[in-house]
Amino acid sequence: MAKRPQTLDAFFAPPPAKRARVEASVTSHEDQPDGAQKDASSHYTYPFALPHLPPAICETLNFAPATEGRVINDQPDLDLVYFEPYIPKDIQRELFEFLRRELFFYRVKYSIKRGPTETQINTPRFTTVFGVDVTSRFDDDGRVVDATMGGPVPKSTYKCDPRPIPQCVDLLRTLTENATGCKFNFALVNYYSSGNDSISYHSDDEKFLGPEPAIASFTLGAKRDFLMKHKPTPENHSSETKPLKLPLASGDMILMKGLTQSRWLHSIPKRKGGEADKGRINITFRRAMVKAGTENYYRYNVGDGEVYQWDESRREMRPWAGVAGQRSYSSASVPA
């Protein structure tokens, strides 16, 4: 490959971590009983096995990032690196269709209480999540064990069922860590089925992520606007900042770090018709530091709802036919 030209931003940015080649055989920790499909990720918490990425996609992913990241830090408290794209163009469509077809998703419903009023929230997108916080890890048999001592964690440790990141997502996580020098232990996957699916202004500034979290956010599929605005806090002089709009296209990645989450808000607004109705997958890699992070992510991205899977003939997400075998958020247990 030809050597990429050095940009001014890249010259002044800290050097990225050395990128290591990742082979197609790399997998996350899995619990595969005898007779299980060997080219798939399976675990007792998965409703069904998830195929590994095809070798051709794995091979091309080794050329990521496809472009140099553009540093955006020209406003107070803003610290972004924008890759246009990160994922090579040759596999963007194939990777999007693979993940939409093979992953399981949820349409989570939950209640929040504002004063005396309880409101039912229907998540306006499909979600799924994998990972566990730094206090725990998965052993070679897929059991959740103490990260330091290696012994099994008590059943009362988590109300949820943490699940390891499958190979089809973990490969991208590993490559992103190698390229950015950041560490991640969670993968949140959102599917925006149409322009009606959205996420309102918010910031990922939960205490369980630490004081200055780094979050890598990938787009696959339809282009959607990513809006940002400074939080209205007088001490941060938010009136001196300007709203930001990034037209995230398929294969793009934005790395948010530093004070970005604590001082800025971001959203994906609704869009009527057009490209937005073709569907968009968003993958965010994060690092949860305490058990509360694990509980939060599974509560709001798995919940107690039914499992959905992409129906190619209907071209839409449909309830999974094997719903009777699913596991809910509250049915935590570990293998014996």
Q: 84 with 71: CB under 8 angstroms?
A: no
Distances (CA, A) of 159 to 209, 238, 292, 293: 19, 39, 10, 12
Q: 257 with 184: CB under 8 angstroms?
A: no
- Check whether 202 is labelled as a binding-site residue: yes
- Check whether 29 is labelled as a binding-site residue: no
User: For residue 311, which of 163, 191, 171, 219 has the smallest C-alpha distance?
Assistant: 191
Q: Is the link from the previous residue into 164 a cis peptide, with omega within 30 of 0?
A: no
- Check whether 45 is labelled as a binding-site residue: no
- Check whether 140 is labelled as a binding-site residue: no
Buried-state track 153-172, b at ≥16 Cβ within 10 A, e below 16: beeebbebbbbbbbbbbbbb
- Check whether 86 is labelled as a binding-site residue: no
Distances (CA, A) of 154 to 20, 138, 151, 324: 36, 14, 9, 27
- The C-alpha atoms of residue 285 and residue 96 are separated, in whole angstroms, by 17
User: For residue 101, which of 142, 141, 54 has the smallest C-alpha distance?
Assistant: 54
- Check whether 284 is labelled as a binding-site residue: yes
- Check whether 263 is labelled as a binding-site residue: no
Buried-state track 87-124, b at ≥16 Cβ within 10 A, e below 16: bbeebbeebbbbbbebbbbbbbeeeeeeeeeeeeeebe
- The C-alpha atoms of residue 278 and residue 148 are separated, in whole angstroms, by 45
- Check whether 266 is labelled as a binding-site residue: yes
Cα 29–286–63 angle (5° rounding)?
Answer: 75
Residue 29, SS3? coil
> How many CB atoms are located within 10 Å of the residue 55 CB?
12
Distances (CA, A) of 230 to 117, 182, 240, 263, 277: 29, 24, 9, 6, 29
Q: Which residues are annotated as a binding site for substrate?
A: 205
Q: Which residues are annotated as a binding site?
A: 190, 192, 202, 205, 266, 280, 284, 286
Q: Which residues are annotated as a binding site for 2-oxoglutarate?
A: 190, 192, 202, 266, 280, 284, 286
